């Protein structure tokens, strides 16, 4: 497939190199009549844009998107949406040395190994600029999920190097996340994180960290046994982001140290007849399917591989050499990774929701306390209260 | 898609419930003329079979496979291979209580939420019996990878609850792994792990652990930017196994605490002109592509959710209730997860290898020290020394 | 992909060779809670079974199906359904000559060219036995389409060699089709067709013909621009049947001789506000989408390639030779092709219906005379009158 | 999937409406290091461009393509190629009436039925402008097929309305086709065809016709049983083009009137040990696989639905009305369909070739007169004589 497409029904294909004409995406399978504005897409792109603060790359890009197709007058047409963002602040000359020598732990060498050819200026497809297409597509997915089922997707930085934080996953808000440059809703911890990043930046070094993503109000039953389990889809989506080294769902690695009697989430009935769990070590997913609790995923990012300290490496023509990388790079990727993480989670859920809806909600469900009552409300109460959906032309 | 298929070119579909007629798989896209015997497939199934020791489920199943199609006289035909394993030791009556009450943290409840119907005896599709189809398909993938490129895939238990071990990922062997019931190549640690499992088993409880998988001799360049990065594909494949809660590639979460200058793997040239890295924090994957170093993945398994201790839960008709589960279950899944992990890794690599070969090895590569020299040797030196490939009929 | 799977959401994979252990299919993505009996599936298999009359192959197979998974107590579980039919009347010795010499216009030679190996007894995968899996899967698709939207799919033989018939596509019934061995609802023409087939059979020769398929009550809007147009999907599905050489939708090749003013189907409003066309040269599909009129497709089948008359050919080891084929073969495939054609059309429509439903029926449609009013009735009035859907367990 | 993607390994996604910002495609899975110039792509676009002569639509578009990504210095990078063509000569006002009234047999009405929303200016996605993306992608596929295996794909108009021609499918050239505006290599027939089109044009009417496509030197074995047979893939690809009503492979509908003894293509050995057929009623495909003979497909196009004569129809708000369409349209689509047909055939073959190569050419074939000898020459003799493939950087 080439590897640049994601999803089955809600399907995004990204394109573009970091130092070519631009980057973007085509999204096919978007439900028609979805109200979404160019501003809503741009708002997400602005969150991942470089140059937001001292702790992100100084590359200057406005990252202004153009909706090329599939959209008119504030609504989707149901046809492919192509969204493009031109590259404007390319400084290919920065990469003259790196075109000759492989940056350690960077994709330079493996691209030559795989393709036998490479866009030598910048990272090409391995650049984080590629994620612009993901974030734009994710903005559409987010809107769909919100309108159809009230789904809320929020990510934040929960660790930078060894600086941790305390956050209540059930209650923090987007405003809490966006209140600081690090994107950590624990404002005190955010300051320490900022300092940690700035410190390695000044030394020409880089550091890693963790991003947590939560999903609230995910419709029950989303996900598909056995290979397309929700945790498997999330793992693929998130581990396809640059610089990721690990992922946990719910209790994660620490959960693997517990006993079953400690780890199991007991069920109970709510007064209005809903099945819920008292704890959430499962992280909102059981048997590969959303169980209605808050989904919690945690993602580990390695330190940025491009650093301005001298490193030993080899050249493209096979000689041992030293490299002092130039170019403009984030000293720590996690602050800008937050919108990317949300986007990938949204892409997974939009696709899985459509698949679930097609397979499991076409035939009726029955019974007084039956799932169909809730299934209906899962999908429809939000729609009912969305007056912004204009009246389409009649047939 | 329903979720029961995996892979693009080398594509497996599994089928079957734990207490139905049986389980199995169909594998499409297998290269024709691959020499593989029924015994080679059975050998892998025997590794995941229940009842191997005191620390696995006492369910008795010989798990004898039948090759139904796509194979003749020890070779694949290139047509779909259907492999079936009948269920023989079903005790559906064990599940009468569980058909009424949802096991905490088990898939019972979410299957009802998703499908509005459920195979109430046993775990249905959520049972580990479903993985029989994966292991059978994985045996074929392993053979292909071995013949074509000398790839070696080995997994082992590296932790049970809080019992760790010490293993050299570059040197341990299959014999080391299979030398004990826990499947840990550190024989001393294995004893402690065995004891830890047996202890929770006697208490009617369960525990979790970790499995490490290594891949040696993976051809360079396998994997596909940007969504089908090798770590992303492995993450999806492995996180689709039952009871998984987290995955790490290479340095994983601990790598996210390091500085770039500490984490980067420096390149060097070998005397015969190969690009290698001195360290392997990348875990054999850079930029989403295999770089030729040993691939290392680590997978966290939660404690088995079915335990025989009393738990609070709710019934299918919406009443709060208590449950003391019966049925036969593993107190700890990791020993039997080892062959499942290897199978999933093999399925990813076989599929990605074929995709890489189709896209990147059809047009010639050039140059004295060029990748094509090695590409050829990557794929062909093993083939040349495989006399067992019989002469096919001529056209 | 290997080529043995069809469909995206409603996805069938067939397996099995003509002279191996058996044939069958796995169908993934089936909506759960679909009421369907084993007898309903068997009834379709009986229509394609060999040995029904003097004008079909004398091979004796009961073609009794076994539902291996994904189904319980008369309803689908939403998990993969594996359906198997063992081969019982194999006479591999009939094929000893053909294993040495390529039958002209048969798949023998090309299978050797492609795979370099071949199941030499019988046709292997190229045998019409492979279509058993399609017909079984099609029976499920038909039931789904009927329950959800009242869709009716009927095919018939409209020509044998040069014997034509007269049939009103809007009114003929399944009973009309099944009233004779040829499966032509024009009973007089059927007699002449029978005679034509029997004549070539006695001469050891074979002949071709045409099958027409009509679909009544197809929901409007099914199909997907631009590559997955409904006529494109039908063309692929039907041209994947053995022995097909051409397909027409609606006016077909004769329509290409008309003027636009003659060919266009004028629209009009029905008293109850529905958009309809006065003529149907479009064959129920416009712009790649079902427009609510009866879909009409016509399929050309070549004469069976295996004949018992002496033919010149070459042997597997590259010598010119003569061949007098033995084995048991249909003198004309069209009578038994009728249920295969219906099955493939059902597989296309079930898949496209689910895709349409997922993309276009999740968000509300608005307006007094809006499509959503009809969309609802398109899908739901039949469901409402289907009391046989039992009450599923509640959550 | 939304329907706007085609192919598995060589995969094109098209985007864009006729009166939006522009149209284009993203192609993923292209082999790296393929030499192709922007001019080669533009040359194909020029063949399908409007305004080429009096018998095509007067819409003026230069259709100048921009390669946005995936390509550098005359070679493909192996990453997605995005190619865009802006719309420049939009006259949306021409469509004010058509935005209110449905053109008979056009896609206007069904798009409203499916999506409940529509790009009312022009045909939107149903416009032939969408095929720009296909033709651009097809140019890349053609180049790949030519370099790797010497494949030659040529289409021509073989009938306009009732004006036929005589062409030898084995010998006509691209120059013969391009020697006249109709694109019929029979120059005398071309004149009569031109006259036939011009006649209906002057009357404000339209007419249909047929296009034949031949493929020379297709590698043996390309295609995949059982659903992805080569004729099935071609049928889908070609029937996805606008205005198609039927397709034939080889003998087609007329072949269905023949006896087996008349229709079968006898095999013989060439002096250099190749298996060939004396006749080619199979049209180069047997058992769903290319047999090495010339592939022949014939495609029926209906008369253009938009005509300037008054027609009865209904309005978008459900009233019976009359329509006299304006806008600029081809009186007959077949001359401009020729490059579209070639493009779709190229897309099928490139994708199937890569799939075949991955599955069947990785493991060695053996034997003196074995297929592998030829398989090698099938793919490699052309490569060997392509000095233009530059030396890539070494690793």
Partner residue opposite D257 with nearest CB, options C162, C247, C282: C162
Is D8's Cβ below 8 Å from some Cβ in A? Answer: yes
Q: Cα separations (Å) of A245 from A156, A238, A302, B290, C23? A: 17, 10, 6, 14, 44
Q: Which of A42-46, A199-203, A380-384, C27-31 has the lowest mean pLDDT?
A: A380-384
Residue C389, in any domain of the structure? no
| Cβ-proximal residues to A29 (8 Å cutoff; 6+ apart), any chain | A7, A9, A10, A11, A354, C359, D1, D2
| Cβ-proximal residues to A334 (8 Å cutoff; 6+ apart), any chain | A157, A160, A182, A183, A208, A209, A210, A211, A301
What DSSP letter does each residue of A60-123 carry, written as one string?
Answer: ------EE-SSEETTEE-SSPEEEEEE-----GGGGTTTTTBPPTTSSHHHHHHHHS----STT
What pTM did the predictor assign? 0.95
The CA distance from D340 to A365, in Å, is 47
Residues B184 and B191: beta-carbon distance below 8 Å: no
Provide, as residue numbers in chain C, all residues whose Cβ is less than 8 Å from the Cβ of D258: 207-208, 302-303
Residue C350, pLDDT > 60, answer yes
Provide, as residue numbers in chain B, all residues whose Cβ is less than 8 Å from the Cβ of D362: 31, 148, 354, 357, 379
- Pair of tokens at residue D59: 């819409």
Q: Which of B211-215, C336-340, D89-93, D228-232 has the lowest mean pLDDT?
A: D89-93
Q: Residues C62-83: what's their mean pLDDT?
A: 96
Question: Could you tell me which chain C residue has the CA closest to the CA of A228?
Answer: C29
Q: Do A148 and C362 touch (CB under 8 A)?
A: yes
Q: Do D5 and A11 touch (CB under 8 A)?
A: yes
Provide, as residue numbers in chain C, all residues whose Cβ is less than 8 Å from the Cβ of B82: 15-16, 24
* % of chain A exceeding 90 in pLDDT: 79
Domain residues for the domain of C212 are 5-384
Q: Do A257 and B161 touch (CB under 8 A)?
A: yes
pLDDT of A91 reads 63
Digit-coded pLDDT (tens) for B231-250: 999 999 999 999 999 999 99
Residue B370, pLDDT > 50, answer no
How many other CB atoms are there within 10 angstroms of residue C391's CB atom?
12
pLDDT grade for B393, boundaries at 50, 70 and 90:
very low
Residue D394, in any domain of the structure? no
Distance from CA of B25 to the nearest CA of D (A): 18
Distance from CA of A282 to the nearest CA of D (A): 31
Tell me whether residue D40 is exposed, middle or buried, using C-beta atoms within 10 angstroms of its C-beta: 0 to 12, 13 to 18, 19 or more: middle
Digit-coded pLDDT (tens) for B133-162: 999 999 999 999 999 999 999 999 999 999
Q: Which of A197-211, C300-314, C366-380, D161-175 has the lowest mean pLDDT?
A: C366-380
Residue B125, in any domain of the structure? yes
pLDDT grade for D36, boundaries at 50, 70 and 90:
very high
* % of chain C exceeding 90 in pLDDT: 78
Residue B75, pLDDT > 90, answer yes
Residue B392, in any domain of the structure? no
Q: Cis omega (within 30 of 0) on the bond before C13?
A: no
Distance from CA of C26 to the nearest CA of B (A): 7
Is A86's Cβ below 8 Å from some Cβ in D? Answer: no
Q: Do A289 and B110 touch (CB under 8 A)?
A: yes
The CA distance from C243 to C240, in Å, is 9
Residue C16, in any domain of the structure? yes
Residue A17, pLDDT > 80, answer yes
Partner residue opposite A31 with nearest CB, options C33, C359, C391: C359
Residue C194, in any domain of the structure? yes
Query: Contact partners of A by the rule of 3+ C-beta pairs under 8 A?
Result: B, C, D
Q: Residues C185-210: what's their mean pLDDT?
A: 97
Partner residue opposite A395 with nearest CB, options D17, D82, D113: D113
Is B225's Cβ below 8 Å from some Cβ in D? Answer: yes
Residue B302, pLDDT > 90, answer yes
Partner residue opposite C31 with nearest CB, options A34, A354, A360: A360
pLDDT of C98 reads 61
Residues C289 and C230: beta-carbon distance below 8 Å: yes
How many other CB atoms are there within 10 angstroms of residue C73's CB atom?
9
Q: Residues A265-272: what's their mean pLDDT?
A: 96
Residue C301 main-chain phi, psi, to 5 deg: -115, 135
pLDDT of A377 reads 55
For an interface test with D, give the residue of C100, C160, C203, C227 to mutate (most D CBs within 10 A): C227
Q: Cα separations (Å) of C258 from C251, C281, C360? A: 9, 11, 35
Q: C332, C271, C327: which is closest to C302 by C-alpha?
A: C332
What DSSP letter does each residue of A236-292 carry, written as one string?
Answer: HHHHTSTTEEEEEETTHHHHTTSBHHHH---EEE-TTS-EEESS-TTTTEETTEE-S
Digit-coded pLDDT (tens) for A38-64: 999 999 999 999 888 888 887 778 899
Digit-coded pLDDT (tens) for C137-176: 999 999 999 999 999 999 999 999 999 999 999 999 999 9
Q: What mean pLDDT value characterizes chain B?
A: 90
Partner residue opposite C68 with nearest CB, options B22, B28, B117: B22
Digit-coded pLDDT (tens) for C234-256: 999 999 999 999 999 999 999 99
pLDDT of C142 reads 98
Residue D339, pLDDT > 70, answer yes
Residue A20 main-chain phi, psi, to 5 deg: -95, -155
pLDDT grade for C377, boundaries at 50, 70 and 90:
low
pLDDT grade for D325, boundaries at 50, 70 and 90:
confident
pLDDT grade for B382, boundaries at 50, 70 and 90:
low
pLDDT grade for C93, boundaries at 50, 70 and 90:
low
pLDDT of D96 reads 65
pLDDT of C73 reads 92
Tell me whether residue A193 is exposed, middle or buried, using C-beta atoms within 10 angstroms of its C-beta: 0 to 12, 13 to 18, 19 or more: buried
pLDDT grade for B386, boundaries at 50, 70 and 90:
very low
The CA distance from D323 to C161, in Å, is 44
Provide, as residue numbers in chain B, all residues whose Cβ is less than 8 Å from the Cβ of A300: 248, 252-253, 255-256
The CA distance from A85 to B297, in Å, is 36
The CA distance from B286 to B231, in Å, is 9
Q: Do D366 and B391 touch (CB under 8 A)?
A: yes
Beta strand residue intervals within chain B, DSSP E: 5-6, 11-15, 22-28, 66-67, 71-72, 75-76, 81-86, 152-160, 163-164, 209-216, 244-249, 267-269, 275-277, 285-286, 289-290, 295-301, 311-314, 320-323
Residue B115 main-chain phi, psi, to 5 deg: -95, -20
Q: How many CB pairs under 8 A join B and C?
A: 189
Residue B6 main-chain phi, psi, to 5 deg: -140, 135
Residue C228, pLDDT > 60, answer yes
pLDDT grade for D75, boundaries at 50, 70 and 90:
very high
Provide, as residue numbers in chain C, all residues whose Cβ is less than 8 Å from the Cβ of D206: 259-261
The CA distance from A36 to A65, in Å, is 14
Residues B113 and A371: beta-carbon distance below 8 Å: yes
Partner residue opposite B360 with nearest CB, options D32, D369, D395: D32
CA angle B100, B101, B105 (to 5 degrees): 140
Q: What mean pLDDT value characterizes chain C?
A: 90
C-alpha dihedral (C330, C332, C335, C336), degrees to nearest 10: 40
For an interface test with B, give the residue of D141, D224, D276, D363 to mutate (most B CBs within 10 A): D363
pLDDT of C368 reads 34
- Pair of tokens at residue B178: 């299979």
Digit-coded pLDDT (tens) for C106-126: 999 999 999 999 876 667 899
Residue A381, pLDDT > 60, answer no
pLDDT of A93 reads 58
Partner residue opposite C287 with nearest CB, options D110, D226, D249: D110
Which residue is listed with tokens 């795979």? C115
| Cβ-proximal residues to B143 (8 Å cutoff; 6+ apart), any chain | B34, B35, B36, B40
For an interface test with C, give the residue of A69, A363, A383, A392 to mutate (most C CBs within 10 A): A363
Q: What mean pLDDT value characterizes chain D?
A: 90
Pairing of strands C295-301, D285-286: unpaired
The CA distance from B395 to D369, in Å, is 7
Digit-coded pLDDT (tens) for B88-117: 876 655 566 666 899 999 999 999 999 999
| Cβ-proximal residues to C171 (8 Å cutoff; 6+ apart), any chain | none
Provide, as residue numbers in chain A, all residues whose Cβ is less than 8 Å from the Cβ of C32: 359-360, 363
Q: Do D5 and A28 touch (CB under 8 A)?
A: yes
Residue B351, pLDDT > 80, answer yes
Q: B71, D232, D370: which is closest to C112 by C-alpha?
A: D370
Digit-coded pLDDT (tens) for D200-214: 999 999 999 999 999
Q: What mean pLDDT value characterizes chain A?
A: 90
Which residue is listed with tokens 């792509």? D41
Helix (H) or strand (E) holding B174: helix B174-178
Is A73's Cβ below 8 Å from some Cβ in D? Answer: no
- Pair of tokens at residue C3: 């080529």
pLDDT of A325 reads 79
Q: Do A69 and D23 touch (CB under 8 A)?
A: yes
Residue A385, pLDDT > 80, answer no
Q: Residues D257-271: what's their mean pLDDT?
A: 97
Pairing of strands B163-164, B209-216: unpaired
Helix (H) or strand (E) holding B181: none
- Total domain count, chain C: 1
For an interface test with B, give the residue of D359, D381, D388 to mutate (most B CBs within 10 A): D359
Residue B387, pLDDT > 80, answer no
- CA A163 to chain CA mean position, Å: 22
- What HEC string does chain D produce? CCCCEECCCCEEEEECCCCCCEEEEEEECCCCCCECCHHHHHHHHHHHCCCCCCCCCCCCCCCCCEECCCEECCEECCCCEEEEEECCCCCHHHHHHHHHECCCCCCHHHHHHHHCCCCCCCCHHHCHHHHHHHHHHHHHHHHHHHHHHCCEEEEEEEEECCEECCCCCCCCCHHHHHCCCCCCCCHHHHHHHHHHHHHHHHCCCCECEEEEEEEECCCCCCCECCCECHHHHHHHHHHCCCCEEEEEECCHHHHCCCEHHHHCCCEEECCCCCEEECCCCCCCEECCEECCCCEEEEEEECCCCCCCCCEEEEECCCCEEEECCCCCCCCCCHHHHHHHHHHHHHHHHHHHHHHHHHHHCCCCCCCCCCHHHHHHHHHHHHHHCCCCCCCCCCC
| Cβ-proximal residues to B25 (8 Å cutoff; 6+ apart), any chain | B12, B13, B14, B15, B82, B83, B132, B133, B134, B136, B137
DSSP C227: T
The CA distance from A189 to A168, in Å, is 14
Sign of CA dihedral D116, D122, D126, D130: negative
Distance from CA of D30 to the nearest CA of B (A): 7
CATH code, domain with B236 = 3.60.150.10
């Amino acid at each position: 497939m080439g590897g640049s497409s994601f999803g089955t029904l809600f399907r995004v294909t990204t394109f573009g190199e970091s130092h070519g004409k631009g980057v973007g995406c085509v999204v096919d399978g978007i439900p028609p009549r979805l109200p979404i504005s160019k501003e809503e897409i741009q708002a997400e792109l602005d969150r991942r844009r470089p140059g937001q603060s001292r702790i992100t790359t100084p590359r200057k890009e406005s990252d202004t998107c153009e909706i090329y197709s599939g959209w008119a007058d504030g609504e989707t047409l149901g046809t492919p949406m192509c969204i493009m963002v031109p590259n404007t602040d390319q400084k290919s000359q920065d990469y003259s040395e790196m075109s000759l020598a492989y940056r350690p732990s960077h994709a330079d060498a493996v691209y030559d190994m795989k393709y036998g050819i490479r866009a030598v200026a910048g990272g090409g497809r391995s650049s984080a600029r590629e994620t612009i297409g993901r974030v734009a597509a994710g903005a559409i997915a987010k809107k769909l999920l919100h309108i159809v089922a009230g789904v809320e997707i929020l990510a934040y930085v929960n660790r930078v190097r060894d600086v941790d934080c305390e956050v209540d996953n059930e209650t923090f808000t987007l405003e809490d996340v966006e209140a600081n440059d690090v994107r950590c809703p624990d404002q005190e911890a955010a300051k320490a994180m900022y300092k940690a990043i700035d410190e390695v930046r000044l030394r020409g070094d880089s550091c890693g960290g963790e991003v947590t993503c939560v999903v609230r109000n995910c419709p029950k039953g989303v996900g598909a046994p056995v290979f397309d389990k929700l945790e498997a889809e999330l793992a693929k989506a998130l581990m396809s982001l640059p610089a990721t080294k690990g992922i946990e769902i719910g209790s994660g690695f620490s959960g693997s140290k517990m006993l079953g009697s400690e780890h199991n989430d007991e069920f109970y009935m709510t007064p209005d007849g809903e099945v819920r769990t008292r704890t959430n070590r499962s992280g909102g997913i059981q048997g590969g399917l959303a169980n209605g609790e808050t989904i919690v995923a945690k993602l580990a990012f390695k330190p940025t591989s491009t650093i301005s300290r001298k490193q030993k490496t080899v050249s493209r023509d096979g000689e041992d050499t030293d490299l002092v990388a130039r170019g403009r790079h984030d000293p720590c990727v996690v602050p800008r990774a937050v919108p990317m993480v949300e986007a990938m989670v949204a892409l997974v859920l939009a696709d899985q929701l459509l698949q679930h809806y097609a397979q499991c909600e076409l035939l009726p469900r029955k019974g007084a306390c039956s799932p169909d009552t809730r299934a209906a409300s899962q999908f429809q109460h939000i729609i009912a209260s969305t007056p912004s959906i204009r009246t389409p032309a009649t047939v």
